[in-house]
Homo-oligomer: A and B are copies of this chain.
């Protein structure tokens, strides 16, 4: 099994390589990690890389990767800085951490400046409004929320920035798996809220980077 890598992607769409690790056999992942561990390797980002997998890598390979367990991301180096704007990542609660941090870490890998605002859920509205001015000083907002995802609508109605909403699988009963959050964001009563797949913090960061590249 030889992997045919899309090596010219960065030139074509401005987003460097990444590896979605979930579901790939360990051997394939280790082989990729080794290749990118060499000093002259191009940058690469591993997403959905389980801690157990990372810990199984040979020590010298693991050492060459910057790994972050909550977001399950790893990269060998940061891409050359982009001069564009800054992105605010706003999440509803602590449980949305894995997705919010996947977005933040991908932005870091892509060389995009960003700030993370956690625990901003609308059940305690003051937590959002007290930080609104600071958020609006960025050039785009990534909103991360599960359950009813009301945060996307409220923030979408309070900011003129591009809003990229990411539903998370946080919740139980009808909220389990994130479909309620996804649908709530898609049906947002605030105009112009764009939505990513459930838990796709990586994609939200890429969408933001496509915007930042214009600035």
Which residues from chain A sit less than 8 Å from chain B, CB to CB? Answer: 1, 3-6, 8-9, 12-15, 18, 20, 22-25, 28, 48, 70, 85, 92-95, 97, 118-127, 139-140, 147-150, 152-154, 156-164, 167, 169-200, 202-211, 213-215
**Residue of B whose beta carbon sits closest to that of A96:** B23
Establish whether residues A94 and B162, one from each chain, have CB atoms under 8 Å apart when the complex forms.
no
Q: A4-B120, A6-B123 are in contact. List 9 more A-B contacts (CB 8 A).
A: A4-B118, A122-B154, A123-B153, A123-B156, A147-B187, A150-B150, A150-B153, A164-B194, A175-B187
A184 → chain B closest CB, angstroms:
4
Rounded to whole angstroms, the CA-CA distance of A190 and B179 in the bound complex is 19
> Is A195 within 8 A of B193, CB to CB?
no
Q: List 25 A-B contacts (CB under 8 A).
A: A1-B97, A4-B118, A4-B119, A4-B120, A4-B127, A15-B192, A23-B95, A25-B70, A92-B189, A93-B189, A122-B157, A123-B153, A123-B156, A123-B189, A124-B157, A148-B153, A154-B154, A160-B213, A163-B207, A169-B173, A173-B178, A184-B184, A186-B196, A186-B200, A192-B203
- Interchain CA distance A94-B31 in the complex, whole Å: 13
Closest Cβ neighbor of A131 among chain B residues:
B4
Q: A28: which B residues are within 8 A, CB to CB?
A: 94
With contacts A125-B158, A209-B192 known, is A214 near B139, CB below 8 A?
A: yes
CA distance A208 to B207 in the complex (A): 12
A192 touches B210 (CB 8 A): yes
Interface contact A162-B210, CB-CB below 8 Å: yes
